[in-house]
Amino acid sequence: MKNIILVFLFTLFGNAIFCQQVIQLYNGKAPGSENWNWDERQIKVDIGTILFDVSKPSLTAYRPSNPNGVAVIVAPGGAFHALAYDLEGTEVAKRLNAKGITAFVLKYRLVHDDPAHPENSIGNLMATQNFKKLDSLNAPVIPLALQDGITAVKYVRQHASEYKIDPIKIGFMGFSAGGTLTMSVVYSATDDSRPNFVAPIYAYENAIIGSTVPSVKTPIFIAAASDDDLGFATHSVHIYLKWLAAKQPAELHMYEKGKHGFGTKKQDLPVDSWMDRFFEWLQKQEIAKKS
Q: The CATH number of the domain where 68 resides is what? A: 3.40.50.1820
Residue 14 within any structural domain of the chain: no
Residue 41 within any structural domain of the chain: yes
State which residues form the domain around 52: 21-284
Residue 99 within any structural domain of the chain: yes
Residue 5 within any structural domain of the chain: no
Residue 137 within any structural domain of the chain: yes
Residue 130 within any structural domain of the chain: yes
pLDDT tens, the chain, 291 aa long: 444 443 333 344 333 334 589 999 999 999 999 999 999 999 999 999 999 999 999 999 999 999 999 999 999 999 999 999 999 999 999 999 999 999 999 999 999 998 999 889 998 888 888 889 999 999 999 999 999 999 999 999 999 999 999 999 999 999 999 999 999 999 999 999 999 999 999 999 999 999 999 999 999 999 999 999 999 999 999 999 999 999 999 999 999 999 999 999 999 999 999 999 999 999 999 887 765
Residue 15 within any structural domain of the chain: no
- One-letter-per-residue 3-state SS of 162-194: HHCCCCCCEEEEEECHHHHHHHHHHHHCCHHHC
Task: Give Rg (Cα) of the chain.
Answer: 19
Residue 231 within any structural domain of the chain: yes
The number of domains in the chain is: 1
